[in-house]
Amino acid sequence: MKTLIVEDELLIAADIEALVSSFGYGPSVLASSYTEALYFLQTENIDFAILDIQLSGHKSGIDVAIELKNQHKIPFVFLSSYEDFATINKALETAPNAYLQKPFSKVTLYAAMQLAIANYGKIHHKNTMDDEGVAVKNILFIKEKSGYIKLPMKDVHFVKSDGNYMEFHTADRKHLIRESQKNLLQQLPDYFLKVSKSFIVNLEEIASLHQQIIRLHSGKEIPFAPAYKAQLVARLPIQS
Where are the chain's structural domains?
A: 3-124, 153-235
| Overall CATH class of domain 3-124 | alpha beta
Number of other CB atoms surrounding residue 27 within 10 Å: 11
HSE value, Cβ hemisphere, 13 Å, CA-based, for 126: 1
Claim: this prediction has a pTM higher than 0.75: no
Cα gap 110→117, rounded to integer Å = 11
Which of these ranges, 13-17, 68-72, 168-172, 203-207, has the smallest mean pLDDT?
68-72
Question: Mean of the per-residue pLDDT values for the chain?
Answer: 86
Please tell me the CATH code under which domain 153-235 is placed.
2.40.50.1020
Cα gap 96→37, rounded to integer Å = 17
Mean pLDDT of 158-164: 89
pLDDT band at 82 (very low <50, low <70, confident <90, very high): confident
pLDDT for 32 equals: 95
Cα gap 35→207, rounded to integer Å = 45
pLDDT band at 147 (very low <50, low <70, confident <90, very high): low
pLDDT band at 48 (very low <50, low <70, confident <90, very high): very high
